[in-house]
A and B are shown apart, each in its own frame.
Chain A
Amino acid sequence: MPKVKRSRKPPPDGWELIEPTLDELDQKMREELYEYCIREGYADKNLIAKWKKQGYENLCCLRCIQTRDTNFGTNCICRVPKGKLEVGRIIECTHCGCRGCSG
């Protein structure tokens, strides 16, 4: 699909270097190529597997749902939907700096 520029601001530094690569990726991607990328480890297989699940479509990283990493066996704070987090304060999770990857 051709890219549509949604912001009126000019892109930051380095855009000119990567733009051609990204465009080629878009044009040339097909199912066989996709599977190859996954097999070779250019794409994170496990994370993509999570994205296919309901509720985890926006998951930031795999560490944030790893319950063994927390004191009380819970998910990271970034997994709490914004509506339930009544603080009204910006939360950046310690693992990946995510500000809320659900809800």
Chain B
Amino acid sequence: MATSLGSNTYNRQNWEDSDFPILCQTCLGENPYIRMTKEKFGKECKICARPFTVFRWCPGVRMRFKKTEVCQTCSKMKNVCQTCLLDLEYGLPIQVRDTGLSVKDEVPRSDVNKEYYTQNMEREIANSDGTRPVGLLGKAPSSSDMLLKLARTTPYYKRNRPHICSFWVKGECKRGEECPYRHEKPTDPDDPLADQNIKDRFYGINDPVANKLLMRATTMPRLDIPEDKSITTLYIGGLGEDVTDSELRNHFYQFGEIRTITIVQRQQCAFIQFATRQAAETAAEKSFNKLIINGRRLNVKWGRSQAARGKEREKDGVTESGIRLEPVPGLPGALPPPPMSDEDASTNYFNLAPTSSSAVMNLGLPPPPGVAMPPPPGFGPPMFHTMDPMAPPMPPPMAMRPPGQVHYPSQDPQRMGAHASRHGGP
């Protein structure tokens, strides 16, 4: 029972005496010069009902005077500001912060249980160094990106405003101009945010503001992993002119081995292909909506499967540096990409359109157009017959080609990579 300031301090819940409040920057206000009064044992803590030192100050012009509402023990237990009961690091309600850090702090609510708990907490706090919160919160992971995203970036001083003048609401405010309370419309009583309770907010149960924030958290943009397990490429957009291959490599090497990096300067984007699917997933998770290079936030998305991208590349027919690829003379034209997934390989032996694949199971169909050859064994790789049109002699070596005619990306003089001429011979 916190009835008197006795001399017996052993195993008792004592009145709290402190010499500096624990407050957040928003509660203190915008003015760096503050005058604060201190009153020993001025009020009862709203949570544990112990008398504690009340600090009172003015957070700015036209603001109401704020004072500490809960004692320091209670605020240290939950790592919150003594007046607004919001987290000191994120400025978020206790329920949101606990959900974000997956902390299930069970503070008892009933009378004797609560007193016993706060009394023990007080002793534990006195023994700790005072910089980290005691209890479960001290052992929790120190940061969570969901909380960082939910947190405000600028202070919200509207919560320091004076309360609504209830006389004015009734139409009876005799003070008129000099009335320090707000002469504005009160908040809608049907709004669920209207009935808040300091105990609910402290214990993290049934807090309407927290519920609203958590609802918002679930609707935040997320990056879903694609079902196609073979995709290991990430699309990176919004590059700008100054992000280079080496910078991308420097960032993404930590997730795993990079197979290739392709930068398309024209479209300000890059494709990064990893060696393993796991590495790609980790990279996506760590970079989505977070990666900032050279001050720009990059748009990270999953790339498309190899087959689809292959078709697209061929349509472009352009190398990285923008040189147009002339079709190689003497070749019959662009080849269709080989099927990648297992499903295709098993049914599409003759590389025909998918609708006729079921009928192709038997070998009694005419051979593919333009080639007169016996039908290959059913399980032969489709490459067999497509190789035939390549029978004509291999294209002449690079040296004999007229200079300036670029047919393959490897011939592009501006491309990075090994050139035979560079190495000065074997």
Contact = CB atoms under 8 A, between A and B. Distances in A.
B177 A89 contact: yes
A90 B177 CA distance: 6
A91 interface: yes
Contact of A72 (B35, B176, B177, B178): B35
Determine chain B's interface SS by DSSP, over half rule.
mixed
Interface string B57-68: 000011000000
Contact of B62 (A71, A87, A92): A87
Nearest to B62: A87
Interface residues of A, number: 8
A89 B178 contact: yes
B37 interface: yes
Interface string B312-332: 000000000000000000000
Contacts of A86: 61
Chain B residues touching A, range: under 10
A89 B181 CA distance: 12
B37 A90 contact: no
Interface in A39-57: none
Which interface residue of B35, B37, B61, B178 has the most chain A CB atoms within 10 A?
B178
Nearest to A71: B37
Interface in B1-43: 35, 37
A55 B326 CA distance: 93
B178 A91 contact: yes
Contacts of A92: 178
Contacts of B178: 89-92
A89 B177 CA distance: 7
14 contacts: A71-B35, A71-B37, A72-B35, A72-B37, A86-B61, A87-B61, A87-B62, A89-B177, A89-B178, A90-B176, A90-B177, A90-B178, A91-B178, A92-B178
Q: Which 7 pairs show the lowest CB-CB distances between chains A and B?
A: A90-B177, A90-B178, A92-B178, A72-B35, A71-B37, A91-B178, A87-B61
